[in-house]
Amino acid sequence: MCQVKIYGIQANLSEYRDELSDVIHGCVVEAFDYPVEMRMHRFFALGPEDFRFPTDRSNNYTIIEISLFEGRTVAAKKKFYALLYERCQTQIGIEPVDIEIVLTETPRHKWGIRGVPGDELGLDYKVGV
């Protein structure tokens, strides 16, 4: 399971929202061997008064928070970060300094999905990549 929250300045985020969703999902699919059809993204477009960030960042500053089942290797996570930074820069024009990523892993039993605990959910993909 992989739930994604994306935070950014409303005026900027609205310009590249679809492209960013495609980039994030492509990186998740490639780095985590995740099913293509399992995209779950939510965008939080904030006014400048509601989104404060360091002065060395631009208005493209974006925070990406991903909640996922525990089990991915450190190598898979590092591959995800590298892919995301590179693709955001080359495909959207967002510099790596303007992207912050937080992965929050939880045990499957702490998720409730489609009426069952996550550890009882039959998955058609593997988590331990």
Condensed to tens digits (0 to 9), the pLDDT of residues 32-49 reads 999 999 999 999 999 999
pLDDT above 80 (res 127): no
Predicted TM-score of the model (pTM): 0.91
| Cα atoms in the 13 Å half-sphere on the side-chain side of 30 | 14
**pLDDT tens digits, 87-103:** 999 999 999 999 999 99
Domain ranges of the chain: 2-120
pLDDT over threshold 90, residue 85: yes
The CATH architecture that domain 2-120 belongs to is 2-Layer Sandwich (3.30)
- The dihedral built from the CA positions of residue 68, 73, 76 and 82, taken in this order, carries a sign that is positive
